[in-house]
Amino acid sequence: MEKNAKIYIAGHRGMVGSAIHRKLKSEGFTNFVVRTSAELDLREQSAVREFFDQERPEYVFLAAAKVGGIMANNIYRADFLLENLQIQNNVIDSAHRVGVQKLMFLGSSCIYPKLAPQPLREDYLLTGLLEPTNEPYAIAKIAGIKLCEAYRSQYGSHFISVMPTNLYGPNDNYDLNNSHVLPAMIRKFHEAKVEGKPFVELWGTGSPRREFLHANDLADACYFLMQHYDEPELINIGVGEDVTIKALAELIQQVVGYEGQIHWNTDKPDGTPRKLMDVGKLHGLGWKHSIGIEEGIRATYQDFLKKIESYAV
C-alpha cells in the first residue's frame, strides 16, 4: 500500500477497526476515509454505493459487523444473519464496482465446525456442523469468505479473508450481558475489589482452553497480510498457544489486585473444551505475535480503568 493511498476502514470505532486505524497511522498512512454507523448505514445498498462512488477508496478493511454474545446471537438469529449479509454484500460489491485495489474481509473463528479437530486449520471450513447458538452469524461470515473467493474467481479481484482468534484490547466491550470472557473477568474482578467482595463466581470448571490475541497484534498481522498475502483461501490469525480459563482467571485476578477467592460454579456449562487456531500458514509467511498475554491484560486493564465512568460499579 502506498503511503498516500486512500484507505476505507469499515467499523473504525470498534476494537478491531480502531486497532487497524492506529496501526496504519503509526506506519505513516494519512489518507483515511471513515464513517460512523450514524453517518453511513452499511445495511443500505444505495447509501453504500453512493459512498463508494463519491470516495473511491483504493484499499478496504471490512471490520464492520453486527456482533454480540451467545445470548444475543441465539435470540436475534434473523437479525444477525440478515444484517451481516447486508453489510458484507454491500461493501464487497461496491468495492468491486469502483475497482478497489485490495479488500480484506475479517471473519471469526466461529466459522469452523463445532467438532472440528484441534488446532483449527483453514481447510476445516465447511467440513461439519456449526455451533447452533451462533450459526446465523457464522453462516454470514462464511458467505462473506465465499463472496470474496467468487469475486476473485470471476473478476480477478484482490479480495482476501482473514480469521482472527479470540481478541481483547483497547475499545473492548465490558458489558457483562454480551461481552466475551476476558473483558468480563476484568470487570468482575475489578468490581469485586472495589466493593470488597469475598469471592468472585465464575462459570464452569475452569478447564476449557482458549487462545487470546491482542487487538494491536491483530492489526499488525492485518497490515502485514495486506502487503504479503494475496490468495483465495482464508488465513487464520492467532498466537498458536492457549491457556485454561482457570489460569486466565488467576492471571486477571493478579493484574487487578483482587485478594478474594474464586468460586467455580460447576452447575454452569463449560462450553467447547478447546478452541485453538492453527497458525502454521501465517507463521510460514513470517509473522508472529509480539504481545504476551500478561502484558496485554495489564494494558487492557488500564484501558478499562479509563472507561470505568461509563459502567455502573
Which residues are CB-contacts of 273 (< 8 A; sequence separation ≥ 6)?
A: 207, 208, 209
Calculated CA dihedral for residues 103, 21, 180, 178, nearest 10 degrees: -90
Q: What is the edge-to-edge ordering of all strands in the sheet holding 243-244?
A: 243-244, 209-210, 274-275
Annotated binding site: 11-17, 106-109, 141, 164-167, 180, 188, 203, 210, 270
Q: Where are any strands of DSSP class E within 59-211?
A: 59-62, 102-106, 159-164, 166-168, 199-203, 209-210
Cis peptide before 119 (omega within 30 of 0): yes
CA distances from residue 118 to 49, 240, 274 in whole angstroms, order as listed? 41, 11, 7
Look-up of cell digits 456449526? 130
What is the greatest pairwise CA distance in the chain? Answer: 61
CA distances from residue 215 to 166, 230, 237 in whole angstroms, order as listed? 9, 22, 11
137 is catalytic: yes
Exactly one of 8, 112, 137, 223 is catalytic; name it.
137
According to DSSP, the residues that pair with 167 across neighbouring strands are: 213
Question: Which cell is 111 given?
Answer: 466459522
According to DSSP, the residues that pair with 9 across neighbouring strands are: 61
| Side chain identity, residue 43 | R
How far separated are the first and last CA of the chain, in Å rounded? Answer: 44
Annotated binding site for NADP(+): 11-17, 106-109, 141, 164-167, 180
Distance in angstroms (rounded) separating the CA atoms of residues 218 and 214: 6
Annotated binding site for substrate: 188, 203, 210, 270
Distance in angstroms (rounded) separating the CA atoms of residues 277 and 125: 12
Which active-site residues does the annotation give?
137
